[in-house]
Amino acid sequence: MLHSPGHLPNALYSAAQVRALDARLIAAGTPGSVLMQRAAYALWRALRRKWPDAGALTVLAGHGNNAGDGYLLAALALRAGWQVRVLAVTDPQRLQGDAALARDQARAAGVSVQAWDETAPLQGVVVDALLGTGLQGAVRDPYARAIEALNRSGLPVLAVDIPSGLCADTGQVLGVAVKAQLTVTLVGLKIGLFVGMAPDWVGELLFDDLQADAALVAEQDCLAQRLAGECLPRLSPRAPTVHKGQLGHVLVVGGDRGTGGAALLSAQSALRGGAGMVSLATRGEHVGAAQARLPEVMTLAVASANQLHALAAKVSVWVVGPGLGQGAWGRSLLSAAAVCDVPQVWDADALNLLAAGAVTLPPACVITPHPGEAARLLGISSAQVQGDRPAAARRLAQRYQAVCVLKGAGTLVSDPSGRLLLCDRGDPVMAGAGLGDVLAGLIGALIGQGCSPLDAASLGVWLHACAGEHLAGKGNGLAASDLCDAIRHVLQELSVLQSAVVEQPVCPN
Protein backbone atom coordinates (compact mmCIF):
# COMPACT_ATOMS: atom_id res chain seq x y z
CA MET A 1 0.00 0.00 0.00
CA LEU A 2 1.32 3.43 -0.94
CA HIS A 3 1.83 5.83 1.94
CA SER A 4 1.77 9.58 1.28
CA PRO A 5 4.10 12.03 3.11
CA GLY A 6 1.58 12.64 5.89
CA HIS A 7 1.24 8.92 6.57
CA LEU A 8 4.76 7.58 6.36
CA PRO A 9 6.00 5.05 8.92
CA ASN A 10 8.28 6.33 11.63
CA ALA A 11 11.22 3.94 11.38
CA LEU A 12 14.21 5.12 9.34
CA TYR A 13 16.88 2.68 8.18
CA SER A 14 20.37 2.63 6.76
CA ALA A 15 20.86 1.01 3.37
CA ALA A 16 22.39 -2.05 5.05
CA GLN A 17 19.42 -2.38 7.39
CA VAL A 18 16.97 -2.27 4.49
CA ARG A 19 18.96 -4.98 2.70
CA ALA A 20 18.81 -7.05 5.88
CA LEU A 21 15.06 -6.51 6.08
CA ASP A 22 14.69 -7.52 2.45
CA ALA A 23 16.68 -10.70 3.12
CA ARG A 24 14.57 -11.40 6.20
CA LEU A 25 11.37 -11.19 4.13
CA ILE A 26 12.79 -13.54 1.50
CA ALA A 27 13.99 -16.01 4.13
CA ALA A 28 10.52 -16.02 5.69
CA GLY A 29 9.01 -17.27 2.45
CA THR A 30 8.36 -14.30 0.15
CA PRO A 31 10.45 -14.89 -3.01
CA GLY A 32 12.49 -12.00 -4.30
CA SER A 33 10.66 -12.19 -7.61
CA VAL A 34 7.35 -11.65 -5.81
CA LEU A 35 8.73 -8.61 -4.00
CA MET A 36 9.90 -7.26 -7.37
CA GLN A 37 6.44 -7.74 -8.87
CA ARG A 38 4.90 -5.94 -5.92
CA ALA A 39 7.40 -3.12 -6.36
CA ALA A 40 6.45 -2.75 -10.02
CA TYR A 41 2.76 -2.53 -9.17
CA ALA A 42 3.49 0.06 -6.45
CA LEU A 43 5.46 2.14 -8.95
CA TRP A 44 2.70 1.82 -11.54
CA ARG A 45 0.02 2.99 -9.08
CA ALA A 46 2.15 5.98 -8.10
CA LEU A 47 2.91 6.80 -11.73
CA ARG A 48 -0.74 6.80 -12.79
CA ARG A 49 -1.72 8.88 -9.77
CA LYS A 50 0.92 11.53 -10.45
CA TRP A 51 0.81 11.62 -14.27
CA PRO A 52 -2.47 9.94 -15.33
CA ASP A 53 -2.41 11.32 -18.86
CA ALA A 54 1.29 10.92 -19.68
CA GLY A 55 0.80 7.97 -22.04
CA ALA A 56 4.53 7.48 -22.62
CA LEU A 57 7.30 6.01 -20.50
CA THR A 58 11.06 5.76 -20.78
CA VAL A 59 12.89 3.53 -18.32
CA LEU A 60 16.60 4.13 -17.73
CA ALA A 61 17.83 0.78 -16.47
CA GLY A 62 21.06 -0.13 -14.71
CA HIS A 63 22.30 -3.55 -13.68
CA GLY A 64 20.79 -4.16 -10.18
CA ASN A 65 17.42 -4.97 -8.69
CA ASN A 66 16.26 -1.40 -9.38
CA ALA A 67 16.58 -2.25 -13.05
CA GLY A 68 14.40 -5.31 -12.48
CA ASP A 69 11.71 -3.09 -10.96
CA GLY A 70 11.98 -0.82 -13.99
CA TYR A 71 11.62 -3.66 -16.51
CA LEU A 72 8.47 -4.97 -14.83
CA LEU A 73 7.04 -1.45 -14.63
CA ALA A 74 7.66 -1.07 -18.36
CA ALA A 75 5.68 -4.25 -19.02
CA LEU A 76 2.74 -2.98 -16.96
CA ALA A 77 2.70 0.34 -18.82
CA LEU A 78 2.88 -1.39 -22.19
CA ARG A 79 -0.09 -3.60 -21.34
CA ALA A 80 -2.02 -0.44 -20.41
CA GLY A 81 -1.45 0.94 -23.91
CA TRP A 82 1.38 3.40 -23.14
CA GLN A 83 4.30 4.00 -25.45
CA VAL A 84 7.18 2.33 -23.64
CA ARG A 85 10.88 1.95 -24.13
CA VAL A 86 13.72 0.74 -21.89
CA LEU A 87 17.13 2.32 -22.39
CA ALA A 88 19.78 0.06 -20.88
CA VAL A 89 22.74 2.11 -19.63
CA THR A 90 24.82 -1.06 -19.26
CA ASP A 91 24.53 -4.42 -21.00
CA PRO A 92 21.19 -6.02 -19.97
CA GLN A 93 22.93 -9.40 -20.00
CA ARG A 94 24.78 -8.35 -16.85
CA LEU A 95 21.55 -8.67 -14.88
CA GLN A 96 21.38 -11.65 -12.55
CA GLY A 97 18.79 -13.47 -10.49
CA ASP A 98 15.40 -11.83 -10.09
CA ALA A 99 16.44 -8.79 -12.14
CA ALA A 100 17.37 -11.03 -15.09
CA LEU A 101 14.02 -12.80 -14.80
CA ALA A 102 12.26 -9.40 -14.85
CA ARG A 103 14.21 -8.40 -17.97
CA ASP A 104 13.14 -11.58 -19.74
CA GLN A 105 9.50 -11.11 -18.72
CA ALA A 106 9.50 -7.55 -20.07
CA ARG A 107 10.97 -8.65 -23.38
CA ALA A 108 8.44 -11.46 -23.64
CA ALA A 109 5.67 -8.90 -23.08
CA GLY A 110 6.96 -6.91 -26.07
CA VAL A 111 8.91 -4.16 -24.30
CA SER A 112 11.54 -2.56 -26.54
CA VAL A 113 15.00 -2.65 -24.93
CA GLN A 114 17.74 -0.51 -26.49
CA ALA A 115 21.23 0.51 -25.49
CA TRP A 116 21.43 4.00 -24.05
CA ASP A 117 23.64 6.66 -25.57
CA GLU A 118 23.64 10.42 -25.26
CA THR A 119 21.66 10.82 -28.48
CA ALA A 120 18.85 8.49 -27.35
CA PRO A 121 15.65 10.55 -27.14
CA LEU A 122 13.67 10.47 -23.91
CA GLN A 123 9.88 10.72 -23.90
CA GLY A 124 7.01 10.91 -21.45
CA VAL A 125 7.75 10.16 -17.83
CA VAL A 126 11.31 8.96 -17.29
CA VAL A 127 11.88 6.23 -14.71
CA ASP A 128 15.19 6.29 -12.88
CA ALA A 129 15.96 2.59 -12.37
CA LEU A 130 19.73 3.06 -12.51
CA LEU A 131 21.65 2.65 -9.27
CA GLY A 132 19.55 2.22 -6.13
CA THR A 133 20.79 2.23 -2.54
CA GLY A 134 24.01 0.25 -2.89
CA LEU A 135 26.06 3.12 -4.28
CA GLN A 136 29.15 3.90 -2.17
CA GLY A 137 31.49 6.17 -4.12
CA ALA A 138 31.02 8.85 -6.75
CA VAL A 139 28.84 8.02 -9.74
CA ARG A 140 30.96 6.97 -12.71
CA ASP A 141 30.34 6.91 -16.44
CA PRO A 142 28.21 5.93 -18.24
CA TYR A 143 25.82 6.48 -15.34
CA ALA A 144 27.05 10.01 -14.68
CA ARG A 145 26.47 11.01 -18.29
CA ALA A 146 23.03 9.37 -18.31
CA ILE A 147 22.01 11.24 -15.16
CA GLU A 148 23.23 14.56 -16.54
CA ALA A 149 21.30 13.96 -19.77
CA LEU A 150 18.18 13.08 -17.80
CA ASN A 151 18.41 16.22 -15.66
CA ARG A 152 18.85 18.36 -18.78
CA SER A 153 15.79 16.87 -20.44
CA GLY A 154 13.27 18.75 -18.30
CA LEU A 155 10.96 15.70 -18.36
CA PRO A 156 9.10 14.47 -15.26
CA VAL A 157 11.10 11.83 -13.37
CA LEU A 158 10.03 8.94 -11.15
CA ALA A 159 12.90 7.56 -9.04
CA VAL A 160 12.77 3.93 -7.98
CA ASP A 161 13.58 3.62 -4.26
CA ILE A 162 15.99 6.60 -4.20
CA PRO A 163 17.23 9.08 -6.83
CA SER A 164 20.35 7.55 -8.36
CA GLY A 165 23.47 9.24 -7.06
CA LEU A 166 21.97 10.15 -3.69
CA CYS A 167 23.56 8.37 -0.71
CA ALA A 168 20.93 6.33 1.12
CA ASP A 169 22.68 6.85 4.47
CA THR A 170 23.63 10.54 4.40
CA GLY A 171 21.53 12.21 1.69
CA GLN A 172 24.67 13.50 0.00
CA VAL A 173 25.00 13.80 -3.77
CA LEU A 174 27.76 11.42 -4.83
CA GLY A 175 29.10 13.50 -7.68
CA VAL A 176 25.85 13.76 -9.61
CA ALA A 177 22.29 12.70 -8.83
CA VAL A 178 18.91 12.41 -10.50
CA LYS A 179 16.55 15.28 -9.70
CA ALA A 180 13.19 13.55 -9.29
CA GLN A 181 9.69 14.92 -9.10
CA LEU A 182 8.47 11.73 -7.41
CA THR A 183 10.36 9.05 -5.47
CA VAL A 184 8.71 5.78 -4.50
CA THR A 185 10.78 4.08 -1.84
CA LEU A 186 10.25 0.44 -0.99
CA VAL A 187 10.37 -2.00 1.96
CA GLY A 188 11.79 0.52 4.47
CA LEU A 189 12.35 4.29 4.63
CA LYS A 190 15.99 5.19 4.06
CA ILE A 191 17.30 7.98 6.28
CA GLY A 192 19.17 9.43 3.30
CA LEU A 193 15.82 10.49 1.83
CA PHE A 194 15.41 13.04 4.62
CA VAL A 195 18.85 14.46 5.48
CA GLY A 196 21.68 16.27 3.74
CA MET A 197 20.83 17.45 0.23
CA ALA A 198 17.97 14.98 -0.18
CA PRO A 199 15.04 17.43 0.07
CA ASP A 200 16.29 19.16 -3.10
CA TRP A 201 16.42 15.91 -5.10
CA VAL A 202 13.70 13.54 -3.86
CA GLY A 203 10.61 15.51 -4.86
CA GLU A 204 7.35 14.07 -3.54
CA LEU A 205 8.04 10.96 -1.47
CA LEU A 206 5.78 7.91 -1.38
CA PHE A 207 6.42 4.64 0.44
CA ASP A 208 5.27 1.06 -0.10
CA ASP A 209 6.17 -1.76 2.29
CA LEU A 210 5.46 -4.42 -0.40
CA GLN A 211 3.05 -6.17 1.98
CA ALA A 212 5.85 -6.98 4.39
CA ASP A 213 4.93 -8.92 7.52
CA ALA A 214 4.69 -6.31 10.28
CA ALA A 215 6.16 -8.71 12.85
CA LEU A 216 9.26 -9.26 10.69
CA VAL A 217 9.64 -5.53 10.14
CA ALA A 218 9.41 -4.92 13.89
CA GLU A 219 12.31 -7.33 14.46
CA GLN A 220 14.66 -5.29 12.27
CA ASP A 221 16.72 -2.63 14.03
CA CYS A 222 16.33 0.87 12.65
CA LEU A 223 18.75 3.78 12.65
CA ALA A 224 16.36 6.55 13.68
CA GLN A 225 12.73 7.47 14.19
CA ARG A 226 10.69 10.22 12.61
CA LEU A 227 9.08 12.66 15.03
CA ALA A 228 5.45 11.81 14.37
CA GLY A 229 2.60 9.83 15.89
CA GLU A 230 3.61 7.67 18.81
CA CYS A 231 7.22 8.93 18.60
CA LEU A 232 6.08 12.44 19.51
CA PRO A 233 6.44 13.22 23.24
CA ARG A 234 3.39 14.22 25.22
CA LEU A 235 3.10 17.32 27.37
CA SER A 236 1.03 16.46 30.42
CA PRO A 237 -2.37 18.21 30.52
CA ARG A 238 -2.76 20.91 33.15
CA ALA A 239 -4.77 20.17 36.26
CA PRO A 240 -7.61 22.57 37.10
CA THR A 241 -5.69 23.74 40.19
CA VAL A 242 -2.35 24.33 38.47
CA HIS A 243 -0.47 27.54 39.19
CA LYS A 244 2.49 29.32 37.63
CA GLY A 245 4.94 27.94 40.15
CA GLN A 246 4.33 24.44 38.82
CA LEU A 247 5.05 25.34 35.19
CA GLY A 248 8.69 26.23 35.41
CA HIS A 249 10.69 29.41 35.79
CA VAL A 250 12.89 29.97 32.73
CA LEU A 251 15.90 32.24 32.95
CA VAL A 252 17.18 33.53 29.60
CA VAL A 253 20.77 34.77 29.72
CA GLY A 254 22.06 36.82 26.82
CA GLY A 255 21.75 40.00 24.83
CA ASP A 256 25.10 41.76 24.68
CA ARG A 257 25.32 45.20 23.11
CA GLY A 258 23.91 45.08 19.60
CA THR A 259 22.29 41.63 19.99
CA GLY A 260 19.63 42.28 22.61
CA GLY A 261 16.88 41.10 20.27
CA ALA A 262 18.08 37.50 20.33
CA ALA A 263 17.54 37.17 24.07
CA LEU A 264 14.14 38.88 23.76
CA LEU A 265 13.06 36.33 21.16
CA SER A 266 14.01 33.45 23.44
CA ALA A 267 12.11 35.01 26.34
CA GLN A 268 9.04 35.62 24.19
CA SER A 269 9.13 32.04 22.93
CA ALA A 270 9.42 30.68 26.47
CA LEU A 271 6.28 32.63 27.38
CA ARG A 272 4.34 31.35 24.38
CA GLY A 273 5.65 27.84 25.00
CA GLY A 274 3.80 27.78 28.32
CA ALA A 275 6.43 28.57 30.95
CA GLY A 276 4.92 29.72 34.25
CA MET A 277 7.49 32.50 34.70
CA VAL A 278 10.26 33.92 32.54
CA SER A 279 13.19 36.07 33.60
CA LEU A 280 15.69 37.76 31.33
CA ALA A 281 19.24 38.58 32.42
CA THR A 282 20.72 41.03 29.94
CA ARG A 283 22.71 44.22 29.51
CA GLY A 284 21.35 47.20 31.38
CA GLU A 285 20.90 49.11 28.13
CA HIS A 286 18.24 46.61 27.02
CA VAL A 287 16.06 46.63 30.13
CA GLY A 288 13.77 49.46 29.08
CA ALA A 289 13.10 48.04 25.62
CA ALA A 290 12.52 44.56 27.04
CA GLN A 291 10.01 45.80 29.61
CA ALA A 292 8.16 47.78 26.97
CA ARG A 293 7.96 44.87 24.58
CA LEU A 294 7.52 42.00 27.06
CA PRO A 295 6.00 43.30 30.29
CA GLU A 296 5.30 39.72 31.40
CA VAL A 297 9.05 38.98 31.54
CA MET A 298 11.05 39.92 34.64
CA THR A 299 13.99 41.73 33.05
CA LEU A 300 17.16 42.20 35.07
CA ALA A 301 20.28 44.19 34.31
CA VAL A 302 23.34 42.05 35.05
CA ALA A 303 26.98 43.01 34.81
CA SER A 304 28.71 39.92 36.22
CA ALA A 305 28.42 36.28 37.19
CA ASN A 306 27.87 37.15 40.85
CA GLN A 307 24.47 38.65 40.07
CA LEU A 308 23.41 35.47 38.29
CA HIS A 309 24.42 33.25 41.20
CA ALA A 310 21.78 35.01 43.31
CA LEU A 311 19.10 34.00 40.77
CA ALA A 312 20.09 30.36 40.55
CA ALA A 313 17.91 29.15 43.42
CA LYS A 314 14.80 30.82 41.98
CA VAL A 315 14.75 29.29 38.49
CA SER A 316 14.19 25.77 37.18
CA VAL A 317 15.83 25.98 33.76
CA TRP A 318 18.35 28.25 32.03
CA VAL A 319 18.47 29.22 28.37
CA VAL A 320 21.98 30.52 27.75
CA GLY A 321 23.59 32.01 24.68
CA PRO A 322 21.17 34.01 22.51
CA GLY A 323 23.03 37.22 21.73
CA LEU A 324 25.51 36.45 24.53
CA GLY A 325 28.62 37.42 22.59
CA GLN A 326 32.10 36.08 23.23
CA GLY A 327 33.52 39.04 25.13
CA ALA A 328 34.29 39.32 28.83
CA TRP A 329 30.63 39.97 29.75
CA GLY A 330 29.37 36.87 27.96
CA ARG A 331 32.17 34.68 29.30
CA SER A 332 31.46 35.82 32.85
CA LEU A 333 27.74 35.01 32.64
CA LEU A 334 28.40 31.66 31.00
CA SER A 335 30.79 30.71 33.80
CA ALA A 336 27.89 31.13 36.25
CA ALA A 337 25.67 28.89 34.17
CA ALA A 338 28.37 26.23 33.89
CA VAL A 339 28.41 25.63 37.65
CA CYS A 340 24.64 25.70 38.15
CA ASP A 341 23.07 22.27 38.64
CA VAL A 342 19.74 22.74 36.86
CA PRO A 343 18.68 21.75 33.32
CA GLN A 344 19.97 24.15 30.72
CA VAL A 345 19.67 24.90 27.00
CA TRP A 346 22.88 26.20 25.40
CA ASP A 347 22.69 27.97 22.07
CA ALA A 348 24.65 30.36 19.85
CA ASP A 349 27.67 31.96 21.53
CA ALA A 350 27.41 29.66 24.53
CA LEU A 351 28.30 26.88 22.08
CA ASN A 352 31.11 28.89 20.49
CA LEU A 353 32.64 29.49 23.92
CA LEU A 354 32.19 25.82 24.76
CA ALA A 355 33.98 24.87 21.54
CA ALA A 356 36.82 27.25 22.41
CA GLY A 357 37.30 25.50 25.75
CA ALA A 358 36.27 28.50 27.84
CA VAL A 359 33.84 26.42 29.95
CA THR A 360 32.60 22.88 30.46
CA LEU A 361 29.00 21.82 29.97
CA PRO A 362 26.97 21.02 33.11
CA PRO A 363 24.82 17.88 33.23
CA ALA A 364 21.21 17.64 31.94
CA CYS A 365 21.87 20.04 29.07
CA VAL A 366 20.43 20.48 25.60
CA ILE A 367 22.75 21.93 22.97
CA THR A 368 21.27 23.39 19.78
CA PRO A 369 24.02 23.93 17.19
CA HIS A 370 23.60 24.85 13.57
CA PRO A 371 26.11 23.17 11.21
CA GLY A 372 28.77 25.85 11.69
CA GLU A 373 28.59 25.62 15.48
CA ALA A 374 28.52 21.83 15.27
CA ALA A 375 31.70 21.91 13.20
CA ARG A 376 33.47 24.02 15.83
CA LEU A 377 32.30 21.73 18.61
CA LEU A 378 33.62 18.67 16.78
CA GLY A 379 36.76 20.28 15.38
CA ILE A 380 35.83 19.51 11.78
CA SER A 381 34.47 21.48 8.82
CA SER A 382 30.83 22.41 8.20
CA ALA A 383 31.00 20.37 5.00
CA GLN A 384 31.95 17.30 7.03
CA VAL A 385 29.04 17.88 9.39
CA GLN A 386 26.62 18.21 6.48
CA GLY A 387 28.23 15.25 4.75
CA ASP A 388 26.91 12.91 7.46
CA ARG A 389 24.46 14.72 9.70
CA PRO A 390 23.23 11.61 11.58
CA ALA A 391 26.79 10.71 12.57
CA ALA A 392 27.56 14.31 13.57
CA ALA A 393 24.49 14.55 15.80
CA ARG A 394 25.39 11.32 17.57
CA ARG A 395 29.02 12.34 18.02
CA LEU A 396 27.99 15.66 19.56
CA ALA A 397 25.59 14.01 22.02
CA GLN A 398 28.18 11.45 23.06
CA ARG A 399 31.12 13.86 23.26
CA TYR A 400 29.28 16.41 25.40
CA GLN A 401 26.97 13.95 27.22
CA ALA A 402 24.02 16.12 26.33
CA VAL A 403 20.93 16.05 24.18
CA CYS A 404 21.95 17.50 20.82
CA VAL A 405 19.64 19.31 18.40
CA LEU A 406 21.48 19.56 15.08
CA LYS A 407 19.50 22.23 13.26
CA GLY A 408 18.93 22.45 9.53
CA ALA A 409 16.78 20.77 6.90
CA GLY A 410 15.88 17.48 8.55
CA THR A 411 16.73 18.60 12.10
CA LEU A 412 18.12 15.72 14.16
CA VAL A 413 17.86 15.11 17.89
CA SER A 414 20.23 12.69 19.60
CA ASP A 415 21.10 11.73 23.16
CA PRO A 416 24.24 10.18 24.67
CA SER A 417 22.82 6.65 24.34
CA GLY A 418 22.82 7.03 20.55
CA ARG A 419 19.08 7.41 20.10
CA LEU A 420 18.35 9.43 16.97
CA LEU A 421 15.14 11.29 16.06
CA LEU A 422 14.46 13.22 12.88
CA CYS A 423 12.02 16.04 12.18
CA ASP A 424 10.94 16.14 8.54
CA ARG A 425 8.53 19.02 9.06
CA GLY A 426 9.17 22.72 8.41
CA ASP A 427 9.33 25.01 5.39
CA PRO A 428 11.99 27.03 3.52
CA VAL A 429 10.37 30.26 4.74
CA MET A 430 12.09 29.46 8.04
CA ALA A 431 15.52 30.26 6.61
CA GLY A 432 16.03 33.50 8.51
CA ALA A 433 17.66 35.10 11.52
CA GLY A 434 16.39 34.57 15.05
CA LEU A 435 14.48 31.33 14.59
CA GLY A 436 17.12 29.42 16.54
CA ASP A 437 16.63 31.82 19.47
CA VAL A 438 12.92 31.03 19.37
CA LEU A 439 13.65 27.29 19.42
CA ALA A 440 15.98 27.57 22.40
CA GLY A 441 13.38 29.44 24.45
CA LEU A 442 10.69 26.92 23.53
CA ILE A 443 12.80 23.95 24.60
CA GLY A 444 13.50 25.70 27.89
CA ALA A 445 9.78 26.24 28.47
CA LEU A 446 9.02 22.56 27.84
CA ILE A 447 11.72 21.44 30.28
CA GLY A 448 10.24 23.80 32.86
CA GLN A 449 6.85 22.12 32.40
CA GLY A 450 8.24 18.70 33.24
CA CYS A 451 9.60 17.29 29.99
CA SER A 452 12.90 15.47 30.07
CA PRO A 453 15.67 17.17 28.07
CA LEU A 454 15.24 14.64 25.24
CA ASP A 455 11.46 14.99 25.14
CA ALA A 456 11.65 18.77 25.37
CA ALA A 457 14.13 18.93 22.51
CA SER A 458 12.10 16.55 20.36
CA LEU A 459 8.75 18.18 21.01
CA GLY A 460 10.23 21.67 20.71
CA VAL A 461 11.79 20.92 17.34
CA TRP A 462 8.51 19.49 16.03
CA LEU A 463 6.37 22.39 17.32
CA HIS A 464 8.84 24.93 15.93
CA ALA A 465 8.80 23.28 12.49
CA CYS A 466 5.02 22.93 12.38
CA ALA A 467 4.60 26.57 13.36
CA GLY A 468 6.79 27.48 10.39
CA GLU A 469 4.60 25.36 8.11
CA HIS A 470 1.52 27.06 9.55
CA LEU A 471 2.87 30.47 8.51
CA ALA A 472 4.37 29.39 5.19
CA GLY A 473 1.25 30.24 3.23
CA LYS A 474 1.86 33.91 3.91
CA GLY A 475 5.04 33.76 1.84
CA ASN A 476 8.67 34.62 2.45
CA GLY A 477 9.73 37.30 4.90
CA LEU A 478 8.86 35.32 8.03
CA ALA A 479 10.11 37.17 11.11
CA ALA A 480 11.22 35.05 14.03
CA SER A 481 8.78 36.80 16.36
CA ASP A 482 5.91 35.71 14.08
CA LEU A 483 6.65 32.15 15.10
CA CYS A 484 5.95 32.63 18.81
CA ASP A 485 2.17 33.01 18.53
CA ALA A 486 2.04 30.24 15.93
CA ILE A 487 3.82 27.89 18.35
CA ARG A 488 1.10 28.54 20.90
CA HIS A 489 -1.60 27.55 18.38
CA VAL A 490 0.24 24.41 17.24
CA LEU A 491 0.80 23.38 20.84
CA GLN A 492 -2.91 23.70 21.55
CA GLU A 493 -3.85 21.72 18.43
CA LEU A 494 -1.45 18.96 19.43
CA SER A 495 -2.83 18.89 22.97
CA VAL A 496 -6.38 18.49 21.68
CA LEU A 497 -5.32 15.77 19.26
CA GLN A 498 -3.38 13.79 21.86
CA SER A 499 -6.21 14.07 24.37
CA ALA A 500 -8.65 12.74 21.79
CA VAL A 501 -6.42 9.74 21.12
CA VAL A 502 -6.14 8.96 24.83
CA GLU A 503 -9.89 9.27 25.38
CA GLN A 504 -10.92 7.28 22.30
CA PRO A 505 -12.72 4.09 23.40
CA VAL A 506 -11.25 0.78 22.34
CA CYS A 507 -13.74 -1.18 20.20
CA PRO A 508 -13.81 -4.96 20.57
CA ASN A 509 -12.73 -6.98 17.54
Say whether 119 counts as a known binding-site residue. Answer: no
Say whether 135 counts as a known binding-site residue. Answer: yes
Distance (Å, whole) CA 279 – CA 285 = 16
Say whether 477 counts as a known binding-site residue. Answer: no
Say whether 468 counts as a known binding-site residue. Answer: no
Distance (Å, whole) CA 440 – CA 373 = 15
Element (H, E) at 288: helix 287-293
Describe the crossing of helices 97-108 and 32-50 by its angle, rounded to 10 degrees: 60
Q: How far from the centroid of its chain's Cα atoms is residue 300's Cα?
A: 37
Say whether 411 counts as a known binding-site residue. Answer: yes
Say whether 273 counts as a known binding-site residue. Answer: no
Element (H, E) at 330: helix 328-338
Say whether 137 counts as a known binding-site residue. Answer: yes
Per DSSP, 191 falls in state G
Say whether 164 counts as a known binding-site residue. Answer: yes
Instruction: Report DSSP letters for 19-39, one per residue.
Output: HHHHHHHHHTT--HHHHHHHH
Say whether 161 counts as a known binding-site residue. Answer: yes
Say whether 190 counts as a known binding-site residue. Answer: no
Say whether 70 counts as a known binding-site residue. Answer: no
Say whether 196 counts as a known binding-site residue. Answer: no
Q: Report yes or no: 82 and 89 within 8 Å, Cβ to Cβ.
A: no
CB atoms within 10 A of CB 139: 23
Q: Report yes or no: 382 and 369 within 8 Å, Cβ to Cβ.
A: no
Coil, strand or helix at 104: helix
Say whether 132 counts as a known binding-site residue. Answer: yes
Say whether 432 counts as a known binding-site residue. Answer: no
Say whether 245 counts as a known binding-site residue. Answer: no
Q: Report yes or no: 175 and 138 within 8 Å, Cβ to Cβ.
A: yes
Say whether 71 counts as a known binding-site residue. Answer: no
Instruction: Report DSSP letters for 334-362, one per residue.
Output: HHHHHT--S-EEE-THHHHHHHTTSS-PP
Q: Report yes or no: 371 and 408 within 8 Å, Cβ to Cβ.
A: yes
Say whether 138 counts as a known binding-site residue. Answer: yes
Say whether 134 counts as a known binding-site residue. Answer: yes
Q: Taking the chain, what is the end-to-end CA distance rounded to the nearest angstrom?
A: 23
Say whether 408 counts as a known binding-site residue. Answer: yes
Say whether 370 counts as a known binding-site residue. Answer: yes
Q: Report yes or no: 370 and 377 within 8 Å, Cβ to Cβ.
A: no
- Residues of the binding site: 66, 128, 132-138, 143, 161, 164, 262, 323, 370, 407-411, 436-437
- Residues of the binding site for (6S)-NADPHX: 132-138, 143, 161, 262, 323, 370, 437
- Residues of the binding site for AMP: 407-411, 436
- Residues of the binding site for K(+): 66, 128, 164
